[in-house]
Protein backbone atom coordinates (compact mmCIF):
# COMPACT_ATOMS: atom_id res chain seq x y z
CA UNK A 1 0.00 0.00 0.00
CA UNK A 2 1.28 3.49 -0.88
CA UNK A 3 2.43 5.65 1.99
CA UNK A 4 0.25 8.47 3.32
CA UNK A 5 2.22 11.26 1.64
CA UNK A 6 1.84 9.69 -1.80
CA UNK A 7 -1.90 9.25 -1.32
CA UNK A 8 -2.27 12.87 -0.15
CA UNK A 9 -0.40 14.07 -3.23
CA UNK A 10 -2.69 12.03 -5.48
CA UNK A 11 -5.79 13.40 -3.76
CA UNK A 12 -4.51 16.95 -4.26
CA UNK A 13 -3.71 16.26 -7.91
CA UNK A 14 -7.12 14.70 -8.63
CA UNK A 15 -8.92 17.54 -6.82
CA UNK A 16 -7.06 20.12 -8.93
CA UNK A 17 -7.97 18.25 -12.12
CA UNK A 18 -11.60 18.08 -11.01
CA UNK A 19 -11.68 21.85 -10.51
CA UNK A 20 -10.29 22.40 -14.02
CA UNK A 21 -12.71 20.01 -15.73
CA UNK A 22 -15.63 21.47 -13.79
CA UNK A 23 -14.66 25.01 -14.83
CA UNK A 24 -14.27 23.94 -18.49
CA UNK A 25 -17.70 22.32 -18.36
CA UNK A 26 -19.31 25.54 -17.15
CA UNK A 27 -17.49 27.65 -19.76
CA UNK A 28 -18.59 25.31 -22.58
CA UNK A 29 -22.14 25.27 -21.25
CA UNK A 30 -22.25 29.08 -21.39
CA UNK A 31 -20.81 29.19 -24.92
CA UNK A 32 -23.06 26.35 -26.08
CA UNK A 33 -26.22 28.34 -25.42
CA UNK A 34 -25.13 31.17 -27.72
CA UNK A 35 -23.81 28.80 -30.42
CA UNK A 36 -26.97 26.67 -30.27
CA UNK A 37 -29.21 29.72 -30.64
CA UNK A 38 -27.18 30.86 -33.65
CA UNK A 39 -27.39 27.58 -35.58
CA UNK A 40 -31.05 27.05 -34.65
CA UNK A 41 -31.95 30.49 -35.97
CA UNK A 42 -29.94 29.99 -39.16
CA UNK A 43 -31.19 26.57 -40.28
CA UNK A 44 -34.66 27.67 -41.50
CA UNK A 45 -33.08 30.38 -43.66
CA UNK A 46 -30.49 28.03 -45.13
CA UNK A 47 -33.11 25.36 -45.85
CA UNK A 48 -35.50 27.86 -47.46
CA UNK A 49 -32.72 29.30 -49.63
CA UNK A 50 -31.80 25.81 -50.84
CA UNK A 51 -35.46 24.99 -51.47
CA UNK A 52 -35.94 28.18 -53.49
CA UNK A 53 -32.82 27.51 -55.55
CA UNK A 54 -33.91 23.93 -56.27
CA UNK A 55 -37.42 25.01 -57.22
CA UNK A 56 -36.15 27.60 -59.67
CA UNK A 57 -33.48 25.34 -61.16
CA UNK A 58 -35.91 22.48 -61.69
CA UNK A 59 -38.26 24.62 -63.80
CA UNK A 60 -35.52 25.66 -66.19
CA UNK A 61 -34.21 23.85 -69.23
CA UNK A 62 -30.54 23.14 -69.74
CA UNK A 63 -27.57 24.01 -67.64
CA UNK A 64 -28.35 27.13 -65.64
CA UNK A 65 -25.63 26.90 -63.01
CA UNK A 66 -22.72 27.59 -65.31
CA UNK A 67 -19.38 26.54 -63.84
CA UNK A 68 -21.02 25.64 -60.51
CA UNK A 69 -22.84 22.63 -62.00
CA UNK A 70 -20.07 21.39 -64.30
CA UNK A 71 -19.92 17.59 -64.04
CA UNK A 72 -16.32 16.64 -64.84
CA UNK A 73 -14.48 13.35 -64.64
CA UNK A 74 -13.37 12.95 -61.01
CA UNK A 75 -9.58 13.02 -60.89
CA UNK A 76 -8.88 15.60 -58.19
CA UNK A 77 -10.95 15.82 -55.00
CA UNK A 78 -10.77 18.33 -52.17
CA UNK A 79 -12.14 17.42 -48.73
CA UNK A 80 -12.92 20.30 -46.36
CA UNK A 81 -12.42 18.94 -42.82
CA UNK A 82 -14.08 21.11 -40.16
CA UNK A 83 -12.66 20.46 -36.69
CA UNK A 84 -11.80 22.57 -33.63
CA UNK A 85 -8.69 24.43 -32.50
CA UNK A 86 -8.76 22.82 -29.05
CA UNK A 87 -9.08 19.31 -27.71
CA UNK A 88 -10.66 17.82 -24.60
CA UNK A 89 -13.96 17.31 -26.42
CA UNK A 90 -14.22 13.54 -26.62
CA UNK A 91 -14.37 11.97 -30.09
CA UNK A 92 -15.47 15.22 -31.74
CA UNK A 93 -12.31 15.75 -33.81
CA UNK A 94 -11.46 12.06 -34.17
CA UNK A 95 -14.75 11.29 -35.92
CA UNK A 96 -14.18 13.99 -38.57
CA UNK A 97 -10.59 12.86 -39.10
CA UNK A 98 -11.67 9.23 -39.55
CA UNK A 99 -14.39 10.22 -42.01
CA UNK A 100 -11.96 12.40 -43.98
CA UNK A 101 -9.49 9.52 -44.26
CA UNK A 102 -12.30 7.16 -45.29
CA UNK A 103 -13.32 9.54 -48.09
CA UNK A 104 -9.71 9.81 -49.25
CA UNK A 105 -9.43 6.00 -49.30
CA UNK A 106 -12.67 5.69 -51.29
CA UNK A 107 -11.09 7.61 -54.20
CA UNK A 108 -8.40 5.04 -54.87
CA UNK A 109 -6.01 6.16 -57.59
CA UNK A 110 -7.31 9.75 -57.48
CA UNK A 111 -5.64 12.84 -56.08
CA UNK A 112 -7.32 13.72 -52.78
CA UNK A 113 -6.24 16.84 -50.85
CA UNK A 114 -7.49 18.27 -47.57
CA UNK A 115 -8.58 21.81 -46.81
CA UNK A 116 -8.43 22.15 -43.03
CA UNK A 117 -10.65 24.39 -40.91
CA UNK A 118 -9.53 23.92 -37.30
CA UNK A 119 -6.07 23.22 -35.90
CA UNK A 120 -6.71 19.75 -34.48
CA UNK A 121 -7.77 18.23 -37.78
CA UNK A 122 -4.96 19.86 -39.73
CA UNK A 123 -2.26 18.71 -37.30
CA UNK A 124 -3.32 15.06 -37.61
CA UNK A 125 -4.26 14.92 -41.30
CA UNK A 126 -1.04 16.52 -42.53
CA UNK A 127 0.80 13.40 -41.36
CA UNK A 128 -1.07 11.15 -43.79
CA UNK A 129 -2.63 13.49 -46.37
CA UNK A 130 -1.77 16.62 -48.32
CA UNK A 131 -3.21 19.64 -46.50
CA UNK A 132 -3.22 22.51 -48.98
CA UNK A 133 -4.55 25.17 -46.60
CA UNK A 134 -5.45 25.68 -42.94
CA UNK A 135 -7.88 28.27 -41.59
CA UNK A 136 -7.47 28.04 -37.82
CA UNK A 137 -8.31 31.63 -36.94
CA UNK A 138 -11.87 31.51 -38.28
CA UNK A 139 -13.27 30.74 -34.82
CA UNK A 140 -11.75 33.94 -33.44
CA UNK A 141 -14.22 35.92 -35.54
CA UNK A 142 -16.91 33.54 -36.77
CA UNK A 143 -18.98 35.79 -39.02
CA UNK A 144 -20.68 35.24 -42.37
CA UNK A 145 -18.25 37.62 -44.09
CA UNK A 146 -15.23 35.72 -42.79
CA UNK A 147 -16.66 32.39 -43.94
CA UNK A 148 -17.67 33.91 -47.30
CA UNK A 149 -14.00 34.56 -48.06
CA UNK A 150 -13.23 30.86 -47.54
CA UNK A 151 -16.23 29.89 -49.68
CA UNK A 152 -14.97 32.16 -52.48
CA UNK A 153 -11.55 30.50 -52.23
CA UNK A 154 -13.11 27.03 -52.54
CA UNK A 155 -15.35 28.12 -55.40
CA UNK A 156 -12.37 29.51 -57.30
CA UNK A 157 -10.53 26.19 -56.89
CA UNK A 158 -13.47 24.36 -58.49
CA UNK A 159 -14.35 26.79 -61.29
CA UNK A 160 -10.69 27.06 -62.32
CA UNK A 161 -10.53 23.28 -62.74
CA UNK A 162 -8.01 22.79 -59.94
CA UNK A 163 -10.42 20.29 -58.36
CA UNK A 164 -13.26 18.30 -59.89
CA UNK A 165 -15.20 17.78 -56.68
CA UNK A 166 -15.28 19.39 -53.23
CA UNK A 167 -16.84 17.77 -50.16
CA UNK A 168 -17.35 19.05 -46.61
CA UNK A 169 -17.01 16.88 -43.50
CA UNK A 170 -18.27 18.29 -40.21
CA UNK A 171 -20.19 17.50 -37.03
CA UNK A 172 -23.87 18.40 -37.18
CA UNK A 173 -25.30 19.59 -33.89
CA UNK A 174 -28.28 17.60 -32.61
CA UNK A 175 -28.04 18.22 -28.88
CA UNK A 176 -25.38 18.65 -26.22
CA UNK A 177 -24.74 14.91 -26.04
CA UNK A 178 -25.12 14.00 -29.73
CA UNK A 179 -23.15 15.17 -32.74
CA UNK A 180 -23.63 13.52 -36.13
CA UNK A 181 -20.75 13.42 -38.64
CA UNK A 182 -22.02 14.70 -41.98
CA UNK A 183 -20.52 14.61 -45.47
CA UNK A 184 -21.96 17.12 -47.93
CA UNK A 185 -21.09 17.76 -51.56
CA UNK A 186 -20.13 21.40 -51.90
CA UNK A 187 -19.32 21.50 -55.61
CA UNK A 188 -20.43 20.71 -58.23
CA UNK A 189 -24.03 21.41 -57.33
CA UNK A 190 -26.03 18.20 -57.30
CA UNK A 191 -28.70 17.92 -60.02
CA UNK A 192 -32.24 18.61 -58.85
CA UNK A 193 -35.08 16.21 -59.50
CA UNK A 194 -37.77 17.67 -61.73
CA UNK A 195 -40.59 16.62 -59.39
CA UNK A 196 -39.49 19.37 -56.97
CA UNK A 197 -40.24 22.03 -59.53
CA UNK A 198 -42.75 24.77 -58.96
CA UNK A 199 -45.16 25.39 -61.81
CA UNK A 200 -43.80 28.17 -64.00
CA UNK A 201 -47.07 30.06 -63.96
CA UNK A 202 -47.14 30.40 -60.18
CA UNK A 203 -44.74 33.35 -60.08
CA UNK A 204 -43.64 36.34 -62.07
CA UNK A 205 -39.86 36.74 -62.04
CA UNK A 206 -37.98 40.02 -62.17
CA UNK A 207 -35.24 39.84 -63.30
CA UNK A 208 -35.24 36.55 -65.23
CA UNK A 209 -35.08 33.17 -63.54
CA UNK A 210 -31.59 32.63 -64.98
CA UNK A 211 -30.26 35.79 -63.34
CA UNK A 212 -31.91 34.93 -60.04
CA UNK A 213 -30.42 31.43 -60.00
CA UNK A 214 -26.92 32.63 -60.90
CA UNK A 215 -27.18 35.19 -58.09
CA UNK A 216 -28.49 32.69 -55.55
CA UNK A 217 -25.89 29.98 -56.22
CA UNK A 218 -22.85 31.84 -54.76
CA UNK A 219 -24.96 33.00 -51.80
CA UNK A 220 -26.24 29.46 -51.26
CA UNK A 221 -22.69 28.05 -51.26
CA UNK A 222 -21.54 30.63 -48.72
CA UNK A 223 -24.56 29.87 -46.55
CA UNK A 224 -23.93 26.12 -46.79
CA UNK A 225 -20.35 26.49 -45.60
CA UNK A 226 -21.32 28.96 -42.88
CA UNK A 227 -24.00 26.58 -41.62
CA UNK A 228 -21.50 23.69 -41.54
CA UNK A 229 -18.98 25.69 -39.51
CA UNK A 230 -21.70 27.00 -37.19
CA UNK A 231 -22.95 23.44 -36.69
CA UNK A 232 -19.42 22.30 -35.91
CA UNK A 233 -18.89 25.20 -33.50
CA UNK A 234 -22.02 24.34 -31.51
CA UNK A 235 -21.15 20.64 -31.62
CA UNK A 236 -17.68 21.36 -30.26
CA UNK A 237 -19.03 23.05 -27.14
CA UNK A 238 -21.65 20.36 -26.66
CA UNK A 239 -19.03 17.61 -26.96
CA UNK A 240 -16.63 19.41 -24.62
CA UNK A 241 -19.35 20.04 -22.03
CA UNK A 242 -20.31 16.35 -22.09
CA UNK A 243 -16.68 15.18 -21.96
CA UNK A 244 -15.82 17.51 -19.08
CA UNK A 245 -18.97 16.43 -17.20
CA UNK A 246 -17.88 12.79 -17.45
CA UNK A 247 -14.30 13.71 -16.52
CA UNK A 248 -15.52 15.59 -13.44
CA UNK A 249 -17.64 12.61 -12.38
CA UNK A 250 -14.69 10.25 -12.84
CA UNK A 251 -12.39 12.55 -10.89
CA UNK A 252 -14.93 12.78 -8.05
CA UNK A 253 -15.19 8.99 -7.91
CA UNK A 254 -11.40 8.58 -7.94
CA UNK A 255 -10.97 11.21 -5.23
CA UNK A 256 -13.49 9.42 -3.00
CA UNK A 257 -11.67 6.13 -3.51
CA UNK A 258 -8.34 7.73 -2.68
CA UNK A 259 -9.78 9.29 0.47
CA UNK A 260 -11.06 5.89 1.57
CA UNK A 261 -7.66 4.36 0.87
CA UNK A 262 -5.99 7.20 2.77
CA UNK A 263 -8.22 6.72 5.79
CA UNK A 264 -7.60 2.98 5.80
CA UNK A 265 -3.84 3.51 5.56
CA UNK A 266 -3.98 6.14 8.30
CA UNK A 267 -5.97 3.83 10.60
CA UNK A 268 -3.55 1.00 9.92
CA UNK A 269 -0.61 3.26 10.77
CA UNK A 270 -2.26 4.39 14.02
CA UNK A 271 -3.04 0.77 14.94
CA UNK A 272 0.57 -0.21 14.33
CA UNK A 273 1.79 2.65 16.51
CA UNK A 274 -0.55 1.62 19.32
CA UNK A 275 0.63 -1.99 19.06
CA UNK A 276 4.23 -0.85 19.19
CA UNK A 277 3.54 1.27 22.31
CA UNK A 278 1.71 -1.57 24.00
CA UNK A 279 4.44 -4.01 23.08
CA UNK A 280 7.09 -1.65 24.44
CA UNK A 281 5.18 -1.20 27.69
CA UNK A 282 4.83 -4.96 28.13
CA UNK A 283 8.55 -5.37 27.49
CA UNK A 284 9.39 -2.81 30.17
CA UNK A 285 7.16 -4.65 32.69
CA UNK A 286 8.92 -7.88 31.89
Mean pLDDT, the chain, integer:
89
Q: Is residue 138 part of a domain?
A: yes
Q: Is residue 30 part of a domain?
A: yes
Q: Does residue 56 surpass a pLDDT of 80?
A: no
Which of 35, 56, 77, 89 does the annotation list as catalytic? 89
What's the pLDDT at 201? Answer: 47
Residue 88 belongs to domain with CATH number: 3.40.1380.10
Q: Does residue 280 surpass a pLDDT of 90?
A: no
pLDDT digits (tens, 9 = 90+) for 259-270: 999 999 899 889
What's the pLDDT at 38? Answer: 93
Is 175 known to be catalytic? no
Q: How many domains does the chain have?
A: 1
Q: Is residue 46 part of a domain?
A: yes
CA distances from 209 to 48, 195, 218, 280 (A): 17, 18, 15, 104
Name which of 91, 88, 93 is nearest 20 in CA terms. 88
Q: Is residue 234 part of a domain?
A: yes
What's the whole-model pTM score?
0.86
Q: Is residue 261 part of a domain?
A: no
C-alpha–C-alpha distance, residues 203 and 154, integer Å: 33
Q: Is residue 281 part of a domain?
A: no
Domain that holds residue 176: 22-243
Q: Rounded mean pLDDT of 197-205?
A: 56
Which ranges in the chain belong to alpha helices (H)? Answer: 4-58, 92-106, 119-125, 144-159, 209-285
Q: Is residue 6 part of a domain?
A: no
Q: Rounded mean pLDDT of 149-161?
A: 95
Q: Is residue 126 part of a domain?
A: yes
Amino acid sequence: MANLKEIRNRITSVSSTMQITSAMKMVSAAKLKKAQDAITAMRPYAEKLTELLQSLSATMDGEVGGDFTAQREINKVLVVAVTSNRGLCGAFNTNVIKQTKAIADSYAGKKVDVFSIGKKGGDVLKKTNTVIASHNSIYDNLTFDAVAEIANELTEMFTSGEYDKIEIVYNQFKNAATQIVQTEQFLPLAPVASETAVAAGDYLFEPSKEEIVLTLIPKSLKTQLYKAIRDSFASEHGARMTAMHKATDNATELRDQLKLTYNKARQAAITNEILEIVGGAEALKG
